[in-house]
Amino acid sequence: MARKKIALIGAGNIGGTLAHLIGLKELGDVVLFDVFPGVAAGKALDIMQSGPVDGFDSAMSGAGDYSAIAGADVCIVTAGFPRMPGMSRDDLLTKNAEVIAKVGEGIKTYAPDAFVICITNPLDVMVWVLQQKSGLPPEKVVGMAGVLDSSRFRLFLAQEFGVSVEDVTAFVLGGHGDTMVPLTRYSTVAGIPIPDLIKMGWTTQEKIDAIVTRTANGGGEIVKLLEKGSAFYAPAASAIAMAESYLLDKKRVLPSAVLLNGEYGQSGFYVGVPVVIGAKGVERIVEVQFTAEEKAAFEKSCDAVKKLIADFKKLGV
Contact between 18 and ligand APR per CB under 6 A: no
Spot the catalytic one: 9, 117, 176, 269: 176
By beta-carbon proximity to ligand APR, the closer residue of 80 and 182 is 80
Question: Does the annotation place 310 within a ligand binding site?
Answer: no
Identify whether the C-beta of residue 40 lies closer than 8 Å to the C-beta of residue 62: yes
Contact between 143 and ligand APR per CB under 6 A: no
- Catalytic annotation on 176? yes
Q: Which residues contact 52 (CB under 8 A, 6 or more apart)?
A: none
Question: Does the annotation place 261 within a ligand binding site?
Answer: no
Question: Does the annotation place 178 within a ligand binding site?
Answer: no
By beta-carbon proximity to ligand APR, the closer residue of 63 and 302 is 63
Identify whether the C-beta of residue 26 lies closer than 8 Å to the C-beta of residue 58: yes
Please, what is the minimum distance in Å from the beta carbon of residue 146 to ligand APR? 14
Residue type, 267: S
Write down the H helix ranges in 5-145.
13-24, 37-48, 51-54, 89-110, 123-134
Question: Does the annotation place 10 within a ligand binding site?
Answer: yes
Distance CA 302, CA 268 (A): 11
Among 6, 7, 8, 11, binds ligand APR (CB under 6 A): 11
Q: Which residues contact 258 (CB under 8 A, 6 or more apart)?
A: 138, 139, 142, 143, 270, 271, 272, 273, 275, 282, 285
Ranked by CB distance to ligand APR, the top (closest) residue is 12
Q: How far is CA 268 from CA 44, 87, 101, 175, 259, in A?
A: 38, 28, 18, 14, 6
Distance CA 165, CA 93 (A): 35
Binding-residue pattern over the window 264 to 293 for ligand APR, x denoting contact by CB under 6 A: ------------------------------
Question: Does the annotation place 121 within a ligand binding site?
Answer: yes
Distance CA 267, CA 261 (A): 4
Binding-residue pattern over the window 214 to 243 for ligand APR, x denoting contact by CB under 6 A: ---------------xx-x--x--------
Question: Does the annotation place 214 within a ligand binding site?
Answer: no
Identify whether the C-beta of residue 121 lies closer than 8 Å to the C-beta of residue 176: yes
Q: How far is CA 96 from CA 93, 184, 297, in A?
A: 5, 33, 28
Contact between 95 and ligand APR per CB under 6 A: no
Please, what is the minimum distance in Å from the beta carbon of residue 283 to ligand APR? 25
Helices then strands (H, E): number in the chain?
A: 11, 14
Among 6, 21, 62, 120, binds ligand APR (CB under 6 A): 120
By beta-carbon proximity to ligand APR, the closer residue of 81 and 186 is 81
Contact between 15 and ligand APR per CB under 6 A: yes
Contact between 82 and ligand APR per CB under 6 A: yes
With CB under 6 A as the contact rule, which of the stretches 114-122, 175-183, 184-192, 309-317 interacts with ligand APR? 114-122
Distance CA 116, CA 132 (A): 13
Among 12, 143, 174, 218, binds ligand APR (CB under 6 A): 12
Q: How many residues does the chain have?
A: 317
As annotated, the binding site for NAD(+) includes 10-15, 34, 96, 119-121
Contacting positions for ligand APR (CB under 6 A): 9-15, 33-36, 78-80, 82, 99, 102, 119-121, 229-230, 232, 235
Residues of the binding site for substrate:
83, 89, 121, 152
Q: Could you give the residue numbers annotated as active site?
A: 176
